[in-house]
Structure 1
Amino acid sequence: MYIGSATERGLHRLVDELVSHAIDEAAGGHAGAVDVTLMADGGVRVADDGRGIPVEDIETALTELRAGSFSVVGRCVVNALSRRVEVEVRRDGFRWTQRHERGVPLAPPSRHERTPDTGTTIAFWPDPEIFGAAECSFAALSDHFRELTALDEAPTLTLTLTDERTPRAGRLP
């Protein structure tokens, strides 16, 4: 996967990789909502209510490049270019989490409380050694997401973008 630059454009490509996987879940009839949050601390969180990454594949989905699986390649690149990645999967009746630092898992996935919910949430904090002070643009991402939803690949999909950064806080329903 080629992100194009270590600027805002490259950061947007990372966000798009995670959003694309969530949209694929929706297009397949497995998800109805994708929430993207630009967090106050510089991180980006992408959450969906899809099936959730299979628990046995959480680590692999973020660390092993496999030919022919573009969503896996995208997640691996996001992980490799981030100082920290936190994954939460709701699947098989439980909530599972795993944390990575600079592409390396710190421990195996951990099982937590029971939940009837399903889905995947991936939060990443871009590596400042790669991206410097680059930040995501709420305006550019919101325009891009409007274009994606207009393509009608998943007509029942709800895609939201929330900016928790101050003073630029905003929300795109």
Structure 2
Amino acid sequence: MYELLSHLQTRRSAPAAQLDEPGPDAPALFAMLAIAARVPDHGKLAPWRFIVYGKQEREELARRLAEIARGDADPVEAERKAGKTAAFAAAPLVVGVVSTAAEHAKIPRWEQELSAGAVCLNFLHAAAAHGFGAQWLTGWFAYESEARVALGLKEEERIAGFIHIGTPRLPTPERERPDISALTTFFSR
């Protein structure tokens, strides 16, 4: 129990740019995916899926995403976006968590989307439990329709996050955390 409590109290994301080999092998990856999927899921819909992007595929995708970025009408924005695509290929492994939320008679779409977000956070915990560093990112290409198609999404699907996984080459930096007392109210009438 102490180890879990300690992990939760000190959890940090390892910057994707600082993740090196080794990344997880197939058994570790599937164990992490199983943990990631153990989230609240009203109606047992599993309103998400995973896309595993291997190194070679990500290098090709990064080139394709850069082409898409350079099609932006604003040349400064086009180069800014193109420059961000190389990071997609940097970590040993990237897994896309795809929200497949859809209209449902009983389960609001919002709850389905929250479930996909919970998958992303659980994935970070699973990576840490397996001795890896990880970071949950999106990026401009998570929101651009042509890029989403290139990444393997269907029209109605959305990226909840890209989980970048590997071995941190530097200590994971701490950052300032919010003041919980300033964010907490106790309801009363």
What is the TM-score normalised by the length of structure 2? 0.29
Larger Rg: 2
Q: Which has the higher contact order (CA 8 A, sep 6+)?
A: 2
Return the structure number with greater helix share.
Answer: 2
What is the TM-score normalised by the length of structure 1? 0.31
Return the structure number with greater strand share.
Answer: 1
